[in-house]
């Protein structure tokens, strides 16, 4: 059944999913804070980050947030973690009866340590948790735009919403699996970005596949250690929103977090690397949030600490790697 969908965010992933929904037969309107990118989409009918790949002709754009949420069956967001709270607050100022919201951004808020679904619950109220869901998992925007096979997770507090997300997003090339662990799904998608930066650094330093496999595995261990404090089911991290997303982000040169790490290893500073990528690198801020959570709950997170020290304390990469490699070896606990 055709749905009226308002899409928040016009970055690479936002336009990618809005296009998927439009091609799936839904009426999709995209919101952006700036007009330029909407004009580009309407004129060129292609993704500005992936020229040559056509967009659905039915896609419409607006810079008016109040217009976007009117008469919609569903809202989907792909804004930055930093901007998520303010956008949601602005929407609730227009109406107390928002349509259901699908969160696709991946991050943890600095200062509060809140996952994006937790921020939504804080703003909308626990009594409206039935309106909150998320879509996450291993899904590189360029590959989805090219209609290459991908499998992701739809999680929601409400069964009907979870099934709705599954129906509107599923295509022959984009498989959507249901999952009831909203926090676990959101947490895995956020924290894996830190490990991807580490893997990019490792490759940039020429450390080879053995080192990257160790980082990926020990990174998953860090995720599993911290997950319980965010009320996540640890076993969720064994699935698409955990290990699946971790593998894709750590192993692909299409990943912006992996690329950011590689650029650091090649000698660029943090700002220069971000400018080179030209898109938000969520792992940069997420490592601050995760480090804060580790300190708060006294959970050692050596990879996260290492990435933080490189980005925010300008520590020498070789010295940081040396510290990691000379840590006391303990029995592997899974």
So which residues are the catalytic ones? 192
d(CA 239, CA 224): 12
Q: Going edge to edge, which strands form the sheet with 74-77?
A: 60-62, 27-31, 4-8, 74-77, 101-103, 132-136, 150-156, 174-179
d(CA 109, CA 58): 34
Q: What are phi and psi of 37, to 5 degrees?
A: -70, -35
Residue 74 DSSP SS3: strand
Q: What is the DSSP letter of 133?
A: E
Dmax (CA) of the chain: 59
Q: State the distance between the two ends of the chain, measured CA to CA, in whole angstroms.
A: 44
Q: CA separation (Å) from 43 to 36, 39, 51, 146, 294? A: 11, 6, 13, 20, 47
Q: In this structure, what token pair is assigned to residue 21?
A: 């929904």
CB atoms within 10 A of CB 312: 13
Q: Using an 8 Å Cβ cutoff, are 30 and 62 in contact?
A: yes
Q: Using an 8 Å Cβ cutoff, are 8 and 76 in contact?
A: yes
């Amino acid at each position: 059944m055709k749905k009226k969908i308002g899409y928040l965010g016009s970055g690479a992933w936002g336009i990618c999913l809005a296009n998927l929904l439009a091609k799936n037969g839904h009426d999709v309107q995209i919101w952006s804070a700036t007009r330029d990118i909407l004009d580009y989409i309407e004129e060129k009918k292609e993704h500005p980050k992936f020229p040559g790949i056509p967009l659905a002709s039915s896609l419409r754009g607006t810079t008016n947030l109040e217009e976007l949420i009117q008469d919609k069956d569903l809202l989907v967001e792909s804004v930055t973690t930093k901007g998520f709270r303010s956008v949601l607050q602005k929407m609730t100022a227009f109406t107390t009866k928002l349509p259901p919201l699908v969160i696709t951004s991946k991050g943890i808020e600095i200062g509060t340590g809140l996952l994006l679904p937790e921020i939504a619950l804080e703003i909308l109220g626990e009594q409206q948790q039935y309106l909150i869901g998320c879509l996450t998992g291993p899904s590189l925007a360029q590959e989805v735009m090219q209609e290459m096979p991908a499998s992701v997770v739809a999680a929601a507090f409400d069964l009907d919403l979870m099934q709705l997300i599954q129906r509107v997003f599923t295509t022959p090339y984009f498989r959507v699996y249901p999952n009831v662990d909203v926090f676990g799904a959101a947490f895995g998608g956020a924290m894996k970005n830190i490990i991807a930066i580490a893997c990019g650094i490792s490759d940039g330093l020429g450390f080879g596949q053995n080192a990257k496999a160790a980082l990926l595995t020990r990174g998953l261990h860090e995720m599993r250690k911290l997950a319980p404090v965010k009320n996540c089911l640890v076993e969720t991290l064994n699935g698409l929103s955990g290990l699946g997303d971790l593998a894709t982000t750590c192993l692909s040169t299409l990943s912006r977090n992996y690329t950011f790490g590689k650029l650091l290893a090649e000698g660029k500073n943090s700002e220069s690397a971000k400018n080179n990528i030209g898109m938000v690198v969520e792992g940069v801020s997420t490592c601050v949030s995760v480090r804060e959570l580790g300190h708060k709950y006294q959970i050692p997170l050596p990879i996260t600490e290492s990435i933080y020290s490189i980005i925010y304390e300008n520590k020498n990469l070789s010295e940081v790697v040396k510290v990691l490699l000379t840590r006391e070896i303990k029995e592997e606990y899974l």
